[in-house]
Amino acid sequence: GESVGLHLPTLSVQEGDNSIINCAYSNSASDYFIWYKQESGKGPQFIIDIRSNMDKRQGQRVTVLLNKTVKHLSLQIAATQPGDSAVYFCAEQNYGQNFVFGPGTRLSVLP
Partner 1 sequence: GAGVSQSPSNKVTEKGKDVELRCDPISGHTALYWYRQSLGQGLEFLIYFQGNSAPDKSGLPSDRFSAERTGGSVSTLTIQRTQQEDSAVYLCASSPRDRTNQPQHFGDGTRLSIL
* Total H helices, total E strands in the chain: 0, 11
Cα angle 10, 26, 109; round to 5: 15
**C-alpha distance from residue 42 to each of 22, 76, 78 (Å):** 22, 22, 23
Residue closer to partner 1 by CB (options 91, 109) is: 91
Q: Which residues bind partner 1 (CB under 8 A)?
A: 7-8, 31-32, 34, 36, 41-46, 49, 51, 89, 91, 93, 95-99, 101-104
Residue closer to partner 1 by CB (options 16, 46) is: 46
User: Least distance to partner 1 from the beta carbon of 26, Å?
Assistant: 12
